[in-house]
Structure 1
Amino acid sequence: MTRVVRTGMPVVAWLALAAAPVFLAPYATTTLARMLVFGLLAASLALLVGVTGLPSLGHAAYFGAGAYAAGWFAKNVSTTAPLSLLIAAATGGVVAAATGWVAVRARGVFFLVLTLAIGEIVLQVAEVWESMTGGSNGLYGIPATTIGGEPVVHPAYLYWFVLAVFAVGFAVLWLVVRSPYGTALRGIHDNEPRMRAIGYPTALYKYTVFVIAGTVAGLAGGLFAVQQRLVTPADVGFTTAALALLAVIIGGAGSLWGACAGAGLVILVRDSLGPTLDGHGPLVLGVVFVLVVYLMPRGVAGIRLRRAS
């Protein structure tokens, strides 16, 4: 019976997500689309933090790189949806490959600080490369993405497009986690010296997962550009990276769907409740974080795991 429930819950969740625009107002639909975009970013970070044990504070760099690449491509080359998103994913992967070979050589706090430095470097590039990024003003005026030559502007249609791409990105992460490669990553998280002693090239494993996570983060950034049609340096900076890490911790570092749930909560507080709290949204997020750390150390995902056991 428990197995049936655990199998049916994801199906119900996906069906509910697919049917959401039918019952929600346009603003709520747009907010839910932002949750999906941020959820994909958080899930890609969970692959590093919860599965491999690489806590990063620079993951927004790959998200922002993908967003800028998709936005620039849409403005200057083509608005065709698959192309701009492929460019975004490839850009995120290339930037992750260029920086990851240095980052994965560090461990613990040193890795955390190094990724923070990488994020700040990418942020500075975004601010000074005005011909590509628009500088401090951001990349604005991104045209609507097109499918079959038709622009996708209706909130419901745009939401379904975001949901479809989210499903593809989430499926990639899920397959990585469920594969023998993912099992090896968990082994590195639990005891890297032992994995190295039995013959696993742990440095190569960490580097490849860093690139995979950066690629999916770039895809999420491309979705962000498609959905928001505006990219600013703030989307590359520390705040975005910290919120993504907060979402992973709230949801449960070892769970992809938990990271998505945490991302939904972060966006809900920041975008929906924040304006009604006289700018005290960050304070509420801080309180939520403290409560989760003390009351739910395994995050939102841990609740279901305890009930199922």
Structure 2
Amino acid sequence: MRRRSLLLAVPAGLLTLAGCGDDKADKAKSKPSDSPTNSPSAAPTAKIVAGPLPEITKGTKFGQKPTVAKGPGKASSDLAVKTLIEGKGKEVAKGDYLQADYLGQIWATAKVFDNSYDRGKPSVFPIGVGQVIPGWDQALVGKKLGSRVELAIPPKMGYGTEGNKQAGIKGSDTLVFVVDLVGTFNGKSSVKGKEVAQSNKDLPKVGTNTDGKAPSIDVPKTDAPEKLVASYILEGDGDELKETDGVLCQYRGVLWADGKEFDSSYKNGQPVQFQLAQVVKGWAQGLTGKKVGSRVLVVVPPKLGYGEKPPEGTPIKKDSTMVFCVDILAKA
């Protein structure tokens, strides 16, 4: 099955970057999701009960890959939710991007159909807004970070009567999940990396505020560099991004020619999530190797941006050099 079996494909919020004129990127942007897409207003809800739930036999600590027994007898038709470990972090809010590790299996057989632990990084997805299965949306909003939660999700709160054939899930299957709540991000998130000196007067100077507001970008009155620039403004201590990774970030983009903003996740009020392979080459090359938790200045020359084919309906002109500040919030 696909690695993102619970999640939608790349969100459509990356308006000026996802459509980079590359056929692969265009196809990825329009690709439908493997999972059911639920409108928040139309999504089913269920009564929440304490059980029954299967026993976790190994990996009982937060962050450990669990081994979970088969369901004990008949599963409830309601949504069974139990907090196995109570965290001390902030509560998960509706509309947050939730970072979580999880394992999912089928109640009757204990067959594991997906887990993030083997991939070596938590998954990141919007919660409470109809972009994951309804059982997750209802059960996880309000839980505290640092918690481990076990769920038994009836079909109507999972993949419905059609199931998910690719994952081996039938329309009658109750699903069991163990979920470790790692972190949350929203439109006010900023990185908290170590400040790096901005000593090159021929490069834009970027603000170092970490209050969730858009950093300033002051473009010098000099010629734009011909080569890609990617340098730390705030250096984090997280994992380095690989070219095959996805990323959740906050960003702001201005034009070198006049310093005018043409795009901003801050203005949109929400971080953006995408695969590095699906954005302009300047972003992909500039962010590869950079650490999670960092703010990065990326100056994209035309040949690594939109070149002679800027996106219609934007202030970006032919052969524009673009300047971005990017907060790398998480691998995604």
Relative to the length of structure 1, the TM-score reads: 0.23
More helix by proportion, 1 or 2?
1
More strand by proportion, 1 or 2?
2
Relative to the length of structure 2, the TM-score reads: 0.21
